[in-house]
Amino acid sequence: MRIVVTGAMGHIGSHVVRDLPRRFPGAEIVMIDNLLTQRFPSLFDLPATGRYRFIEDDVRTADLRPLVRGAQAVVHLAAITDAAGSFDRAEAVEANNYVGTLNVATACADTGTRLIIVSSTSVYGTQSHRVSEDCPLEELRPQSPYARTKLREESLTTQMAAERGLRAVVFRFGTVCGVSPGMRFHTAVNKFCWQAVLGQPLTVWSTAYDQTRPYLDLCDAAGAIAFAIERDLFDGRLFNAATDNATVRRIVDLIREFVPDLAVEFVDSPIMNQLSYDVSCDRLTRLGFAFAGDLRRAVADTIGRIGHANGRRAVAVTLP
């Protein structure tokens, strides 16, 4: 078995490439990344249980057909993922993310290879308390250039499935949290953990403190990807994936368990809004997928890894 992972050095990818050999013993993992973010340590200490091949290339321009032909699946993770930062580089995000997805999807359609597309729950923009994959179109109101591009990538995948027989599945991931070799600290939970350990105030959007949003433990992200491969879920459907729906206040309270003296500073942001919703993952769980992650554990693990930075020591808390 061969599985191709694009964006393999990133926050999700660097964990997924280590998880896949555990779930699919003997699999060859082909890792593609342009190393634009220079996360070279993602290649350090790959588990001996896996058979790995790394290719430094750009999925926007590479001829991917020889690489994906005959693969069990392609996991497409290559993307610029900073939603808040996408306002200042909207054209670059569109050019990078959409063009990359187009090239990957075309290669998979040309070769009959199954494709996993990772989108985002940030494509939702609704006042409904709970939202599912079957929501009305008016509830799909992306709040950032990044999210708008993700929605376009979803439409592209659906169109290619209908017109070219592309076998694909789309996951709308909640905000990912948890430790990986290629992690960054620009998304909510990770950023807050970083700020808390370094003694900085947590910069919270002033309208967001009691708004509910979906979060996804990294172990559940990898689990959902493996589940799609195991169950052959490549029929063009969309699946939400979120370990938990939580308010920012709850995330802050979790971090305060480990760093009791943290401070909160409210700031403005281009994507501030009054929207508060949680996402339903019933479509995925009805098929037998069980979310095993835990936000508190993800927070504890993240703080524990950086807890000695800046001369600080996080409070030790026993996890269940």
User: SS3 string of the chain?
Assistant: CEEEEECCCCHHHHHHHHHHHHHCCCCEEEEEECCCCCCHHHHCCCCCCCEEEEEECCCCCCCCHHHHCCCCEEEECCCCCCCHHHHHHHHHHHHHHHHHHHHHHHHHHHHCCCEEEEEEHHHCCCCCCEECCCCCHHHCCCCCHHHHHHHHHHHHHHHHHHHHCCCEEEEEECEEECCCCCCCCCCHHHHHHHHHHCCCCEEEECCCCCCEEEEEEHHHHHHHHHHHHHHCCCCCCEEEECCEEEEHHHHHHHHHHHCCCCCEEEECCCCCCCCCCEECCHHHHCCCCCCCCCHHHHHHHHHHHHCCHHHCCCCCCCCC
Could you confirm whether 146 is annotated as catalytic?
Answer: yes
Of the residues 98, 124, 146, 215, only one is catalytic, namely 146
Catalogue the active-site residues: 146
